[in-house]
Structure 1
Amino acid sequence: MQRYFIDEQVDMEQFNISGDDYHHIVRVMRMKAGDDIICVTPTGKSAVCQIAEITDEIVVANVVKWEEGTTELPVQVVIASGLPKGDKLELIIQKGTELGAFEFVPFTASRSIVKWDGKKAAKKVERWQKIAKEAAEQSHRSHVPDVREPISFKELLKASNEYTYKLVAYEEEAREGEASVLSSTLSKLKEGDSLLIVFGPEGGLTSEEVALLNGNGFLACGLGPRILRTETAPLYALSAVSYHFELLR
């Protein structure tokens, strides 16, 4: 059943769907009155709905029943990625959303080859947000992760004060066999807590950047004995969080 994140909720019994989602329902899926869909409110509540009417601009959907339970992780995991080359960040956002990430914070690291073009910022962030929304719909999330506009490393340090726990994935820790920080941090997390994890770009983080992160309350952690690519490391961490909270019971 197709899932749509809806901004306009008429009341507890009806939704009006327009814009890109209207186009997807009418032009792509070719749905009609009587077909069922799932609508998700801005607060994360999901309802099975039946299409009651399709006009030239909106799809009117009536609530059949509200769903119980959630597919969201019990903790908010925020992925901060040093800007990588090409479409790697798009992959991180898409797959990270499927794995339960709450938010994405791209940042400019010392070794980031890509230089952020402020003139193209709005269009780029809009594309990233669309990728997150489509991935959230596909994976039956009830929350669309927010994708922030890239910030500087200094701004990242300042923003880190918002989170309950803070980690930095550092390949030197992996080389030295560090294997307990991620696990011990996860064991401390309680429902509703937030966890910010920082990952470097292709060339990794510099020792100076790691020292600054350490000085701002971050713990350096390894992600197993193998050195992971910049687009693989966040997915490893999210999988570990999912295993700890959703499968290891």
Structure 2
Amino acid sequence: MQRYFIQKGNWQDDHVTITGDDYHHIVNVMRMEPGAEILCNHPDGNVAHCKIAKVENETVFADILHWLDSETESPISITIAQGLPKGDKWEFILQKATELGASRIVTFQAERSVVKWDDKKVSKKIARWGKIVKEASEQSHRNQIPTVDGVLSLQALLEESQSYQWKFFAYEEEAREQQSSKLHDYFSKINKGDTVFVCIGPEGGFSVNEVEQLKAASFQAVRLGPRILRTETAPLYVLSSLSYYFEEMR
């Protein structure tokens, strides 16, 4: 059943109104008519099973049939901080990280990032990034859409990470060490409801200066298996590992 995230102002006691891009998708893409049933997500994370009552004035009016007992969010809050990658890798990461349960996804201008984005370029892209995570959330039946931030500096990233309970960064040098810290070593220590911040470097990895800053900010260097992963693979490895342990094994 098709799922849509509806803003708070469009909810009434027993019905919901759908406009904009979601109206277009329902009417022109899915070609739904009155009587069709859909799922509507409220911003608070609750999900309503609805039936389309009428379509007029570029608005879909849907009656709320009942609220669902549906929980698809991760039991831990995971933030992925990705060193700004080149090409379309960032959009790929946004989509897949959303599917795999990230609650927040940010990117930062690393010393070895190949591309450099100024504020003007970022402001033009934020709306597109929001659309990518919204559509990925609908496709994967998330209860909530992850937060996406603009491009931060490493210093801003470190300041924002202070409130997190667990902080890790994937360091390729750790993968070469047999006795290095593994991400899995910490799983049994993380509890339901905890906040986890994972920092991933760009294509060229972290510089020595960045590694020193991360460690000074209480980030733990971890290996993600014995192989060196591409920058766009690393966050998916982390999220998949956390999802399997906390959602399937527990």
Instruction: Tell whether the 8 Å contact from 1:52 to 1:61 is kept in structure 2 after alignment.
Output: yes
Equivalent in the alignment of 2:44? 43
Shift of 1:93: 0.6
183-192 or 11-20, which deviates more? 183-192
Q: How does 1:80-95 map to 2 (within 5 A)?
A: 80-95=81-96
Q: Quick one: which amino acid aligns to residue 4 of structure 1?
A: Y
Shift of 1:69: 3.1
Q: How does 1:112-123 map to 2 (within 5 A)?
A: 112-123=113-124
Q: How far apart, CA to CA, are the structure 2 residues paired with 1:12 and 1:79?
A: 36
Query: Scaled by the length of structure 1, what TM-score is found?
Result: 0.97
Equivalent in the alignment of 1:187? 188
121-130 or 173-182, which deviates more? 173-182
**SS of the residue aligned with 2:45?**
coil
Equivalent in the alignment of 2:133? 132
Equivalent in the alignment of 1:2? 2
- Report the CA distance shift for 1:178/1:160 in structure 2 as closer, same or farther (over 3 A): farther
Residue ranges of structure 2 left out of the alignment (5+ in a row): none
Instruction: Tell whether the 8 Å contact from 1:22 to 1:58 is kept in structure 2 after alignment.
Output: yes
Q: How does 1:5-84 map to 2 (within 5 A)?
A: 5-7=5-7, 8-84=9-85
Equivalent in the alignment of 2:166? 165
236-245 or 154-163, which deviates more? 154-163
How far does the alpha carbon of each residue in 1:9-58 deviate from its partner, in whole angstroms, 9 at most, with x for none?
43242111111101101111111100000000001101110001111221
- Report the CA distance shift for 1:128/1:10 in structure 2 as closer, same or farther (over 3 A): closer
Percent identical across equivalent pairs? 53
Shift of 1:117: 2.3
Query: Scaled by the length of structure 2, what TM-score is found?
Result: 0.96
**SS of the residue aligned with 1:96?**
helix
Shift of 1:121: 1.8
**SS of the residue aligned with 2:128?**
helix
1:233 aligns with 2:226: no
Instruction: Tell whether the 8 Å contact from 1:179 to 1:223 is kept in structure 2 after alignment.
Output: no
Residue ranges of structure 1 left out of the alignment (5+ in a row): none
Instruction: Tell whether the 8 Å contact from 1:77 to 1:196 is kept in structure 2 after alignment.
Output: yes
Instruction: Tell whether the 8 Å contact from 1:178 to 1:222 is kept in structure 2 after alignment.
Output: no
174-183 or 226-235, which deviates more? 174-183
Shift of 1:157: 1.0
- Report the CA distance shift for 1:76/1:58 in structure 2 as closer, same or farther (over 3 A): same
